[in-house]
């Protein structure tokens, strides 16, 4: 278990992390999510030992590790840039840490082959120079190099950011499977909402050196605690006074028309359905057809509102159509 207690981290006069407390459970896949510059890497590096907090404590398994040297902490790290040893072949990159530990040669070979198998590095690739590998293969090697040392904690800082979209999704799936198989407590840093939602057991959403919300992907997305979280984690509609007044009048509800409310695109449909308890009249302004999905922009009560729907073959709406809009009132968030 990892615990940050009132941790503050400064760079000179600038406070990058402000009195932050957080607990990460044994075996969890835990993600630090937030926009660039909000302090994710800083907090991760303080656990690894590259940065010391100005105040507060970092504990692992109940023991304060603030003053423990990096190499004693038993933490594996993978960065966005692969940071492999360019002059060594893949085998030697993987064997490096084991050699430092002075393991017998036969044991080193056994462990390197075992890990290579786990991350789909072929025997042929083991003898290649790392510079001959593609980005995705290099990142596999970086991951293997971290886990071959059997760390008690694995820290991954934007490990997929340098890869192209398709590979990112493939490696994401492999990473998740591997983490579950090995059961290593994993801290994952990303600015990518989709990565955070698909990979994590829990997510902490960062904003300017503080945490706005900690929760499961479902909680973060469907029960966002703050406007920042709601907006950062997915597409939303901002419902202004016009629509809120129309909802209040028709449905006898009590949303505060003095403040914006929010609803996700999929919380709005042009067909009635279970839980869709609010009905508004609308006009289609724009229909973007994506095949499986159609994205609509409507006008209702003088405001623009968007939805995303599964396309239903013959019933795709066109610009200018008058349509009913059904909303799930439970999906409306107001902070
Ligand atoms: N070595 C440093 N010296 C001074 N400021 C830094 C340093 N590293 C990071 N920062 C600042 O600290 C803040 C948090 O940075 P960082 O932890 O890298 O954010 P993230 O990983 O979320 O993008 C940023 O404002 C960044 O400019
Ligand atoms: Mg970073």
Give the residue whose CA is nearest to atom 2 of ligand 1: 11
pLDDT recorded at residue 316:
75
Give 329's pLDDT tier (boundaries 50, 70, 90): confident
Domain with CATH 3.40.50.300 in the chain: 2-232
User: Which residues are placed with Cβ below 5 angstroms of ligand 2, an ion?
Assistant: 41
CATH 2.40.50.100 in the chain, residue ranges: 236-331
SS3 269: strand
Atom of ligand 1 nearest to the CA of 44: 17
285-297: average pLDDT: 91
Pocket of ligand 1 (CB under 6 A): 11, 14, 16, 34, 36-42
Name residue 239's beta-bridge partners. Answer: 261
Q: How many angstroms separate the CA atoms of 323 and 31, rounded?
A: 41
The mean pLDDT of 264-286, rounded to a whole number, is 92
Q: Which CATH architecture has domain 236-331?
A: Beta Barrel (2.40)
CA distance linking residue 10 with residue 51, whole number of Å:
9
H helices then E strands: how many in the chain?
10, 17
- Tell which one of 13, 34, 42 to mutate to probe ligand 1, the residue whose CB is within 8 A of the most ligand atoms: 42
CATH code reported for the domain at 2-232 = 3.40.50.300
How are strands ordered across the β-sheet holding 2-11? 14-24, 2-11, 55-60, 63-64
Residues 9-47: tens digit of each pLDDT: 999 999 999 999 999 999 999 999 999 999 999 999 999
Q: What distance in angstroms lies between residue 161's CA and the mean position of ligand 2's atoms?
A: 11
Ramachandran bin of 259, using left for φ above 0, alpha for ψ from -120 to 50, beta for the remaining angles: beta
Question: Considering every ligand atom, which ligand is closest to the CA of 206?
Answer: 1
How does the average pLDDT of the chain come out, rounded?
94
CA atoms of 43 and 34, how far apart (whole Å) = 12
Interacting residues of 117 by C-beta distance below 8 A, sequence separation 6+:
none
Average pLDDT over residues 218-236: 95
Answer yes or no: is pLDDT of 314 > 80: no
Looking up tokens 């919300």, which residue turns up?
A: 213
Q: 32 in the Ramachandran plot: left (φ > 0), alpha (ψ -120 to 50) or beta? A: beta
pLDDT in the model for residue 252? 77
Quick one: average pLDDT of 174-179?
93
């Amino acid at each position: 278990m990892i615990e940050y207690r009132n941790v503050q981290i400064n760079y000179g006069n600038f406070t990058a992390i402000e009195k932050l407390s957080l607990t990460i459970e044994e075996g969890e896949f835990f993600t630090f999510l937030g926009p660039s510059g909000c302090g994710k890497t800083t907090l991760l590096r303080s656990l690894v030992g590259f940065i010391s907090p100005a105040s507060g404590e970092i504990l692992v398994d109940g023991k304060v590790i603030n003053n423990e040297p990096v190499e004693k902490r038993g933490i594996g790290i993978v960065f966005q840039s692969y940071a492999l040893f360019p002059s060594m072949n893949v085998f030697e990159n993987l064997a490096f840490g084991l050699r430092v530990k002075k393991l017998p040669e036969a044991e080193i070979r056994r462990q390197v082959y075992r890990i290579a198998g786990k991350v789909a590095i072929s025997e042929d690739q083991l003898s290649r120079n790392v510079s001959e590998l593609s980005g995705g293969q290099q990142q596999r090697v970086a991951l293997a190099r971290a886990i071959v040392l059997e760390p008690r904690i694995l820290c991954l800082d934007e490990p997929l950011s340098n890869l192209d979209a398709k590979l990112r999704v493939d490696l994401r799936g492999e990473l998740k499977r591997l983490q579950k198989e090995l059961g290593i407590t994993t801290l994952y840093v990303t600015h990518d909402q989709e990565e955070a939602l698909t990979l994590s057991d829990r997510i902490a959403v960062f904003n300017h050196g503080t945490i706005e919300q900690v929760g499961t992907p479902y909680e973060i997305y469907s029960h966002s605690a703050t406007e920042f979280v709601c907006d950062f984690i997915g597409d939303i509609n901002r419902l202004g006074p016009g629509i809120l007044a129309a909802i209040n009048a028709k449905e006898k509800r009590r949303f505060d028309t003095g403040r914006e409310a929010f609803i996700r695109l999929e919380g709005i449909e042009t067909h009635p359905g279970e839980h869709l308890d609010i009905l508004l009249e609308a006009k289609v302004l724009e229909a973007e057809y994506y095949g499986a999905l159609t994205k609509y922009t409507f006008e209702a009560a003088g405001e623009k509102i968007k939805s995303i729907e599964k396309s239903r073959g013959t019933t795709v709406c066109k610009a200018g159509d008058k349509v009913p809009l059904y909303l799930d009132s439970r999906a409306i968030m107001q902070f």
